[in-house]
Amino acid sequence: MSVRRRTERTRYRRRTRIADVTTAFVGIGSNLGDPESQIGSALELLAAEDGIELLAVSTLRETEPVGYLDQPSFLNGAARLETELPARELLERLLAIEGRLGRVRGEGPRFGPRTIDLDLLVYGDETIDEPGLTVPHPRLAERRFALEPLAELDPDLEIRGLGPVQALLAELE
């Protein structure tokens, strides 16, 4: 008589719901006051948010203004984060941080000077087109100052609807 060993099948039940986590990229810019310290403060506030884990920050680069030229040059960079928050909620947090750092919207020229600008550039592989929220960011493909830090954080990044970040940069050459 052969003894058959039955493999014990253990079923693990998940007790706590593990929230879906999305990798997102946030563009950061500033050209008023002390851009370096404002960007530092924005990153600290971002890292302190529940539901957001700040994973990496690109180098900050000085860039010439586009759109509205008569203003100081910008300091620009990007951050990679993981978040449990839906895109809309993440944008709300970004706008709230802008507000806490003294950005007043609706004043001055479009694309004009700002103490801090936080843009949701990429949210996983989602495309969103709602009032007040477009993802990938609507002007990403034409903005070297946003694409370069993205490529630095993830050289192989494929941006849904736009293509590989490297190809977008090459098209700007």
So which residues are the catalytic ones?
103, 114, 117, 119
Q: Toward Mg ion, which CB reaches closer, 92 or 158?
A: 92
Binding mask 85-124 toward ligand ADP (x if CB under 6 A, else -) reads ------x-------------------x-----x-xx----
Q: State the Cα–Cα distance between residues 26 and 33, nearest whole angstrom.
A: 21
Q: State the Cα–Cα distance between residues 46 and 48, nearest whole angstrom.
A: 5
Do the beta carbons of residue 98 and residue 117 sit within 8 Å?
yes
Q: Toward Mg ion, which CB reaches closer, 139 or 166?
A: 139
Residues between 117 and 136 that touch ligand ADP (CB under 6 A): 117, 119-120, 132-135
Here the tokens at position 104 are: 């007043």
Should residue 98 be labelled a site residue for Mg ion when binding is judged by CB under 5 A?
no
Q: What's the angle, vertex CA 24, arms to CA 29 and CA 55, rounded to 5?
A: 80
- Number of residues lying near Mg ion (CB under 5 A): 2
Using CA of residue 17, residue 18, residue 20, residue 25, what is the dihedral sign? Answer: positive
Report the interface residues with ligand ADP, using CB under 6 A.
91, 111, 117, 119-120, 132-135, 137, 139
